[in-house]
Amino acid sequence: MPKLPPGHLVALLAYDGLCTFEFGVAVEIFGLDRPEMGPGWYRFAVAALEPSPLRAAGGVRVVADGGAEVLAEAGTIIVPGWRGAAAPVPPELCMALREAHARGARLLSLCSGVFVLAAAGLLAGGRATTHWRYLEALRAAYPDITLVPDVLYVDEGQVLTAAGSAAGIDLCLHLIRRDFGPEAANSVARRLVVPPHREGGQAQYIPRPVPAEREGARLGPLLERMRARPGQPPPLAALAEEAGMSLRTFLRRFRDATGCPPGEWLLRQRLDRARELLEGPARPLEDVAAAAGFGSAALLRQHFRRRFGTSPGGYARRFRNTAPGSAVPAPAPAHPPAAGESPGR
């Protein structure tokens, strides 16, 4: 397993009025002992420039491990949700983050934590994302930031931003993939009982009816069978018959359950499978295409580039050969989301 520079420290920023969920996400992912990862795993500390104890949402009190000296040592700094889109960011915090950035530290914001990085001037001229509720406020306050609204996270190399609260999990797992590879990220995801690589974006916040229990019972096994045979999808009429529905009802309830029509859902399953294979041991692209359900490597390249903005070969090189802590960004999904978890908040 690749190793970060010796003593790499992840510092989680704390402040009065912090958002408890995002704070807990960072603690859970970076702050727990993980002996299975070996001695090269992250060190972790909580840093605050305000006196402890600090109040978090829900009445939780937080006591930091240290202050500016922790931020000065950290190789990665995580900013959880800020206390308010209109709340000013203290100049001393902005200065500490700018100094960390200048010496090469990575900075991650989760949800509304993006306002802290923006106030420090670390997003000017670059791309970023945040929770959909804050997009307009961020755009109005910082027009020099290129906002990417329909992704779970944006990786600009040294500065990374996550969308809603739960998207912070996706970004943290992505960082582990950058640092230690997909097997490490998969291991952490298994302990969290979450997908190691979730497709999607914020359009999934649009309300959709919840499928009735009997519909889920019929569609669930059908979806599993479709996953098992990605290269040979039966006609829509056959799928509807298999689900015990009319074609019109099947299409409506399939979209309600998954957020997209059957063809788009199946394409996403194929692309997910292709990514899993590309992250593993090297193999011919034709074999990857066949195993993922694409008819040819050319078709895989076409869909992969359209969806992720890179080639399958380029994607594989990012995850096999990216040096720990490098500033090579991994592609963020550039497509409408799959149904599932809300961005939260």
329 within a domain of the structure (yes/no): no
Structural domain containing residue 119: 9-192
Same domain, 176 and 293: no
Amino acid type, 85: A
Give the model's pLDDT for residue 50: 92
1 within a domain of the structure (yes/no): no
Give the model's pLDDT for residue 329: 38
The 3-class secondary structure across 60-81, one letter per residue, is CEECCCECHHHHHHCCEEEECC
Instruction: Give how many domains the chain has, as a whole number.
Output: 2
Give the model's pLDDT for residue 158: 94
Q: Which residues contact 263 (CB under 8 A, 6 or more apart)?
A: none
Residue 147: strand pairing partners:
128
Give the model's pLDDT for residue 199: 57
327 within a domain of the structure (yes/no): no
Same domain, 275 and 158: no
Q: pLDDT for 65-102, tens place per residue?
A: 999 999 999 999 999 999 989 999 999 999 999 999 99
CA dihedral for 261, 267, 271, 277, sign (positive or negative): positive
91 within a domain of the structure (yes/no): yes
Q: Which CATH number goes with the domain that contains 222?
A: 1.10.10.60
Give the model's pLDDT for residue 217: 53
To the nearest 10 degrees (0 to 180), the angle between helices 167-180 and 182-192 is: 150
Supply the pTM of this predicted model. 0.63
Give the model's pLDDT for residue 1: 43
Stretches in the chain below the pLDDT threshold 70: 1-3, 6-7, 195-218, 318-345
